[in-house]
Amino acid sequence: MPTLMPQNADWARISVAVAAAIVLAYMAAVVAGRVARAALGALVQHEHREGTAASIHHPARIIRAAVFVVTMLALVLPALELAGVQTTIGLTSRALTAWLFGSGLRILVIAILSYALLRIISITARRLEAQLGEATSADMIERLKRARTVSGLVQNALTALVIGIAGLMVLHELQVDIIPILTGAGVVGLAVGFGAQTLVKDLIAGFFLTLENQVRVGDVVDINGTGGLVEEINLRTIVLRDADGAVHVFPNGSVERLSNRTKDYAYAVVDVGVAYSENVDQVMALLREIGASLASDPTFGPNLLEPVQVLGIDSFEDARLIIKARIKTLPLKQWDVGREFRRRIAATFAERGIVMQVRTPPAR
């Protein structure tokens, strides 16, 4: 059975040779680690938040360990030969060195570049979210919601792409014929494309649904006549929860009509019915007064984007006339503001003796 060391080996010279190889490999690893930390530090120098140190030191340690192992393997056999040790396992230092500085080095470069690309993608996504998260305006909050949704999808897609390409390149360096793999993947992709047209349609629709900023998590929307709060947006489905707590799941490809009630801003629309005997001008002036008091309220005022608009008489009915008012609010605040506005209208009208007229039910 072949052995690595001869029985009459000079262990002192062997120890010195191995120690020299370890020292040289360690020095090369230290230099590589410092270069990696400097490069990653330049990427995250503006990212002042918890976890930044880990995003620099963890990749640097991995690169340093990889360089140490490769350099050690490249130096240990020549060092042993210089110490007078002749290996009998059929592996020469020249062959090992040729492979390490040929295919081995290329595999290492592929792995390091792939890892660096994945870290850059992750750091860029976090930096974008952090920069947008520093603002408090309504517009920036909307951008942050969109950035979080899009960055997750794009990051997953780019990660899969980088890993797939890197894997094929490594297999090629290991002398594995990747042509059958690519051919098989093409055939499988074609078969899946024909057999899963609905799935592909859902994926494409989900990507453009998110990219075009039509809807985001946290919005209140109506999809194909069903309303609710958006809880999840996936590449294949969108998940709503309605006011009764029921969860509705829609494949993205089946979304024919989408109405977003909370994009950028919203309106609370209030219809006030009064008797024909009331003075319309006085009622409208009183509604503006109630709107002004609502705008000055410390609880509800910050939710208003504009003063209350009293639009005037909207329609005539059998026993009443309808005066329409509208309030521009922050997204998701229109219902709270509308309920408070109606409460104040009821209390003020009762105090001033104004008769509110409800809709007359139809005769049976």
Q: Look up residue 358 and give its DSSP letter.
A: P
pTM, two decimal places: 0.50
What string of pLDDT tens digits covers the 364 residues of the chain? 344 445 445 666 767 777 877 887 788 778 877 777 776 666 555 444 444 555 566 667 777 777 777 777 666 766 666 666 655 544 555 665 666 666 767 777 787 788 778 777 777 777 766 665 555 555 555 556 656 666 666 777 788 788 888 887 877 777 777 777 777 777 777 776 666 677 778 878 877 777 777 888 888 899 988 889 888 887 788 889 988 889 999 988 888 888 888 888 889 999 999 988 888 999 999 999 999 999 999 999 899 998 989 998 888 888 888 999 999 998 888 899 999 999 999 999 989 888 887 765 555 5
CATH hierarchy code of domain 181-263: 2.30.30.60
Would you give the DSSP letter of residue 69? H
Rounded Cα distance between 214 and 191, Å, is 32
For Cα atoms 149, 150, 152, give the angle at the middle one, nearest 5 degrees: 70
Structure tokens at 189: 């992709």
Q: Answer whether CATH 3.30.70.100 is correct for domain 266-352.
A: yes
Query: To which residue do tokens 């899009």 refer?
Result: 150
The CA distance from 361 to 48, in Å, is 63
Q: How far apart are the first and last CA of the chain?
A: 105
Q: Give domain limits for the chain.
A: 11-176, 181-263, 266-352
Q: Identify the residue whose tokens are 């503001």.
A: 337
Coil/strand/helix, residue 276 = coil
